[in-house]
């Protein structure tokens, strides 16, 4: 019975991080990877941003969102539907925008602070000194 109890100790609910656009549910965080569900409220958006090192892949679990992308100077906006996946590589400029309330599964490398914000409707851009 003790072994079963010890295994049960490994089960947890994750950590909710409130954001101005919704919230993140961080369900895994190790020194090798991070797993999150991003809940984006209808009409809200994340920063237009890129990462220097962080590499991530997303899959839309529910709702509909638009994704602004810039790769090698070419800008586009794509509609992302349930089941669609996208690999976001370091240096790729991107922004997620909730057309409807949506949930996005994100798996990434663990560099959570590697965010260079270029535009942000919530005033979270840090001025360069």
Domain boundaries, the chain: 14-119
Q: What is the pLDDT of residues 62-113, one digit of tens each?
A: 999 999 999 889 999 999 999 999 999 999 999 999 999 999 999 999 999 9
pLDDT band at 61 (very low <50, low <70, confident <90, very high): very high
Measured distance CA(60)–CA(86) in Å, rounded: 9
User: Which residue stretches of 1-129 are H helix?
Assistant: 2-8
Per-residue pLDDT at 9 = 76
- Report whether pLDDT(60) > 90: yes
pLDDT band at 2 (very low <50, low <70, confident <90, very high): low
Residues ≥6 apart with Cβ < 8 Å to 15 = 25, 26, 29
Measured distance CA(80)–CA(19) in Å, rounded: 21
Q: Is the dihedral of CA 47, 51, 54, 55 positive or negative?
A: positive
Per-residue pLDDT at 4 = 56
Q: How many other CB atoms sit within 10 Å of the CB of residue 14?
A: 14
Cα 54 off chain centre by: 11
- Report whether pLDDT(5) > 80: no
CATH superfamily of 14-119: Jelly Rolls (2.60.120.10)
Lateral strand order in the sheet of 116-119: 74-80, 65-71, 93-98, 48-50, 116-119
Predicted model pTM: 0.88
Residues in the chain: 129
pLDDT band at 6 (very low <50, low <70, confident <90, very high): confident
Per-residue pLDDT at 128 = 64
Per-residue pLDDT at 47 = 97
- Report whether pLDDT(3) > 80: no
Measured distance CA(117)–CA(83) in Å, rounded: 27
Phi, psi of 18 (to 5 degrees): -70, 140
Q: What is the mean pLDDT of residues 29-33?
A: 95
């Amino acid at each position: 019975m003790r072994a079963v109890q010890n295994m049960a100790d490994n089960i947890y609910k994750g950590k909710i991080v409130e954001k101005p656009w919704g919230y993140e549910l961080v369900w895994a965080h190790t020194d090798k990877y991070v797993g999150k569900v991003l809940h984006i409220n209808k009409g809200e958006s994340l920063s237009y941003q890129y990462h220097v090192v962080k590499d991530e892949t997303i899959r839309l679990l529910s709702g509909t969102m638009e994704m602004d992308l810039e790769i090698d100077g070419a800008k586009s906006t794509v509609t992302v539907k349930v089941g669609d996946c996208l690999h976001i590589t370091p240096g790729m400029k991107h922004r997620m925008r909730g057309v409807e309330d949506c949930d996005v599964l994100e798996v990434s490398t663990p560099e959570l602070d590697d965010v260079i914000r270029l535009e942000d409707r919530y005033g979270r851009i840090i001025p360069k000194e």
